[in-house]
């Protein structure tokens, strides 16, 4: 292959760069150093930006907030022990220590779950109805839960995509046959990363439109109210592919249009706990049957179902230390395995849904009530 390609031709790997500046002599190039990759990884997920729509009247402040993505900044305090909760830190160090799997570590709540995706002015103004008033389940509050989760997805997907240059260079110093293998793998990842950016952008624009119009008629939600704070908190968005009974809902891999997205938020407010699933009317097709299948699960089986959902689909989850440490070993292992599917440092791949009932065991959570909003 290398003898047919001209130095100034586009490289065979698909990078769009001239061959002489890309794969020419790659087998002799110095491999990427681990600390360099780690640094680039950190930077990709700590860039400071304000995601507020430009149509919002306030002017951005220069200061970017370390905003909590678990709604209600005080939420994590209710499950912390000495100011710490367990969480998954996606780093090479963590993976190295635990033979390639992410194992939860104690994290200070001021570090847990924050992202630098809004300036202080907009963070304060946009989320006041959720941060400064108790959660009562208005359409606006349910929307804001989804809005923040969606903004974080958009931010994270961009971080993923920005690692493209790094991904393309991991074959430095390898022989040609390995280069070919690695680049074809990387090309598949790029398709996924680009689809992630495209889909999250479409939803971000739609969510911005609703935020600016304050018209929440298209907002749908399912609220599970708990007697006390849930021992696992977090928030994020995902494409429901299968419901809790294993029924197929949509095939994301087929890439036919934009997949239906649902967001989930688990948090505490006013002494109680809430798990809220929010989505837009246009996503009813997959989201309604998904949520109905959750609604059909009896109260006593609800906690394991929610755990399956959070650990399977959201990497942004935090656990109450005593609760986590006292779980049966098998349950802890099974949850870590689910997280291993959800988290992949370079790809953000989320493998099959697998939400159907398994042997997962935990104490039931006191359910106070469940209701639908907007449907």
Per CB under 5 A, residues contacting Zn ion are 11, 13, 15, 22-23, 50, 52, 60, 119, 122
The distance of closest approach from Cβ of residue 15 to Zn ion in the complex, given in angstroms and rounded to an integer, is: 5
Q: Which is nearer to Zn ion, 62 or 256 (CB)?
A: 62
The distance of closest approach from Cβ of residue 53 to Zn ion in the complex, given in angstroms and rounded to an integer, is: 10
Q: Which is nearer to Zn ion, 15 or 141 (CB)?
A: 15
Q: Which is nearer to Zn ion, 147 or 222 (CB)?
A: 147
The distance of closest approach from Cβ of residue 175 to Zn ion in the complex, given in angstroms and rounded to an integer, is: 15
The distance of closest approach from Cβ of residue 51 to Zn ion in the complex, given in angstroms and rounded to an integer, is: 8
Compute the distance between CA of residue 246 and CA of residue 241 in angstroms, rounded to an integer. Answer: 9
Q: Which is nearer to Zn ion, 102 or 211 (CB)?
A: 211
Residues 6+ apart with CB under 8 A from 191: none
Q: Which is nearer to Zn ion, 52 or 223 (CB)?
A: 52
The distance of closest approach from Cβ of residue 68 to Zn ion in the complex, given in angstroms and rounded to an integer, is: 17
């Amino acid at each position: 292959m290398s003898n047919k390609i001209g130095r100034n031709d586009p490289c065979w790997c698909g990078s769009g760069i001239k061959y002489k500046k890309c794969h020419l002599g790659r087998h002799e190039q110095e491999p990427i150093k681990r600390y360099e990759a780690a640094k680039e990884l950190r930077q990709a997920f700590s860039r400071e930006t304000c995601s507020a729509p430009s149509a919002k009247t306030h002017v951005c402040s220069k200061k970017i907030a370390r905003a909590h993505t678990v709604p209600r900044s005080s939420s994590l305090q209710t499950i912390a022990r000495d100011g710490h909760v367990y969480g998954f830190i996606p780093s090479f160090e963590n993976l190295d220590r635990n033979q390639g799997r992410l194992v939860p570590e104690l994290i200070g709540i001021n570090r847990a779950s924050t992202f630098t995706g809004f300036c202080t002015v907009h963070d304060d103004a946009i989320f006041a109805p959720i941060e400064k008033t108790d959660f009562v389940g208005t359409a606006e509050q349910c929307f804001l839960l989804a809005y923040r989760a969606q903004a974080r997805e958009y931010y994270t997907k961009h971080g993923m995509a920005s690692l493209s240059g790094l991904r393309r260079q991991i074959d430095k110093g390898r022989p040609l046959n390995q280069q070919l293998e690695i680049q074809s793998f990387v090309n598949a990842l790029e398709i996924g990363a680009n689809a992630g950016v495209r889909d999250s952008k479409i939803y971000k624009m739609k969510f911005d439109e609703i935020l600016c119009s304050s018209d929440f008629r298209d907002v749908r939600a399912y609220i599970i109210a708990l007697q006390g704070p849930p021992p696992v908190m977090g928030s994020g968005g995902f494409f429901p592919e299968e419901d809790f009974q294993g029924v197929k809902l949509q095939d994301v891999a087929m890439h036919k249009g934009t997949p239906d997205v649902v967001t989930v938020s688990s948090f505490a407010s006013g002494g109680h706990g809430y798990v809220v699933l929010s989505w837009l009317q246009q996503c009813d097709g997959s989201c309604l049957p998904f949520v109905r299948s959750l609604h059909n699960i009896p109260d006593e089986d609800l906690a394991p179902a929610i755990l399956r959902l959070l650990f399977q689909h959201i990497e942004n989850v935090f656990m109450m230390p005593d609760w986590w440490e006292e779980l049966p070993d098998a349950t802890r292992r099974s949850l870590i395995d689910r997280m291993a599917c959800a988290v992949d440092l370079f790809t953000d791949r989320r493998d099959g849904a697998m939400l159907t009932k398994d042997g997962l065991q935990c104490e039931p959570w006191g359910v106070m009530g469940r209701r639908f909003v907007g449907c």
